[in-house]
């Protein structure tokens, strides 16, 4: 479902921050993405979310070669991907409930068909009491949980998560991890970037390790 062959990436005229990256992800797989700070994890996720173009190599997403895909077809490919960014990217003028329900609304679903599911998910991530609050009044950990709920609510085919449990306490981290594992069990492929080796051990999924822009291990 995702295939990278000898992919490179640079920002503007700068040096390549990713070099010769090759790997593939199967439908329903779970991988961790680890590596030192600045190694290129976020950059790799940006390529996969089609938010940045490679400087060379081949990227195929859901069977589409990205280099030959029409720009107008990119949004429909992106809608098949859920992403948790490090900076959350919640919409400040919407409530927490509305932020989380947004992917379902954009997909054209009637609110009556998803209201109960969204409320249940809000309760699961510990935001049941905060669903009418606007993001600027949420704590860092609450924003992170809202961003996770929004990414998983529509059961995307692929979930990209960038340090998704970095701002919550260990107990909530474990709870959120169970949410990712359950989503994966329902068929979503997951790529989970983290520095936290205890999470890697808890799930026991294979690890992609990036060092200095190169993928050095794919197990």
Ligand X SMILES: Nc1ncnc2c1ncn2[C@@H]1O[C@H](COP(=O)(O)OP(=O)(O)OP(=O)(O)O)[C@@H](O)[C@H]1O
Give contact residues for ligand X (rule: CB under 6 A): 11, 14, 17, 35, 37-43
Shortest distance (Å) from residue 32 CB to ligand X? 13
- Cα(42)–Cα(202) distance, rounded to whole angstroms? 23
The residue among 31 and 130 lying less far from ligand X, judged by its C-beta, is 31
Shortest distance (Å) from residue 126 CB to ligand X? 25
Shortest distance (Å) from residue 173 CB to ligand X? 17
Shortest distance (Å) from residue 47 CB to ligand X? 10
The residue among 5 and 163 lying less far from ligand X, judged by its C-beta, is 163
Shortest distance (Å) from residue 30 CB to ligand X? 19
Q: Decide: 47 and 11 in contact? Cβ < 8 Å.
A: no
Shortest distance (Å) from residue 106 CB to ligand X? 27
Q: Report the Cα–Cα distance between both ends of the chain, in Å, rounded.
A: 17
The residue among 17 and 118 lying less far from ligand X, judged by its C-beta, is 17
The residue among 14 and 136 lying less far from ligand X, judged by its C-beta, is 14
Shortest distance (Å) from residue 178 CB to ligand X? 24
The residue among 37 and 113 lying less far from ligand X, judged by its C-beta, is 37
* Angle, in degrees to the nearest 10, between helices 170-185 and 140-152: 10
The residue among 38 and 206 lying less far from ligand X, judged by its C-beta, is 38
- Cα(52)–Cα(48) distance, rounded to whole angstroms? 8
- Give the 3-state DSSP-derived string for 66-100, with helices as H, strands as E and coil as C: HHHCCHHHHHHHHCCEEEECCCCCCCCCCCHHHHH
- With H, G, I as helix, E, B as strand and everything else as coil, classify residue 214: strand
The residue among 86 and 95 lying less far from ligand X, judged by its C-beta, is 86
| b/e 99-136 (16+ beta carbons within 10 angstroms → b) | bbbbbbeeeeeeeeebeeebbebbebbbbeebbeebbe
- With H, G, I as helix, E, B as strand and everything else as coil, classify residue 118: helix
Q: What is the DSSP letter of 206?
A: -
């Amino acid at each position: 479902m995702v295939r990278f062959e000898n992919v490179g990436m640079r920002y503007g005229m700068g040096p390549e921050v990713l070099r010769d990256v090759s790997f593939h992800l199967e439908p329903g797989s779970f991988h961790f993405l680890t590596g030192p700070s600045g190694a290129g994890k976020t950059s790799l996720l940006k390529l996969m979310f089609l938010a940045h173009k490679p400087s060379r190599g081949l990227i195929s997403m859901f069977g589409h070669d990205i280099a030959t895909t029409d720009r107008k077809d990119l949004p429909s490919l992106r809608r098949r991907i859920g992403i948790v960014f490090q900076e959350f990217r919640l919409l400040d003028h919407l409530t927490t409930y509305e932020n989380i329900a947004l992917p379902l609304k954009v997909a054209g679903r009637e609110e009556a068909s998803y209201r109960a599911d969204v409320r249940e998910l809000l309760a699961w991530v510990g935001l049941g009491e905060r669903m009418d609050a606007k993001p600027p009044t949420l704590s860092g950990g609450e924003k992170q949980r809202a961003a996770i709920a929004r990414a998983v609510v529509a059961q995307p085919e692929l979930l990209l998560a960038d340090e998704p449990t970095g701002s919550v306490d260990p107990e909530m981290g474990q709870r959120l991890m169970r949410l990712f594992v359950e989503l994966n069990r329902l068929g979503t492929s997951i790529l989970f970037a983290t520095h936290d080796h205890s999470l890697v051990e808890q799930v026991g999924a294979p690890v992609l390790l990036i060092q200095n822009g190169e993928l050095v291990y794919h197990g």
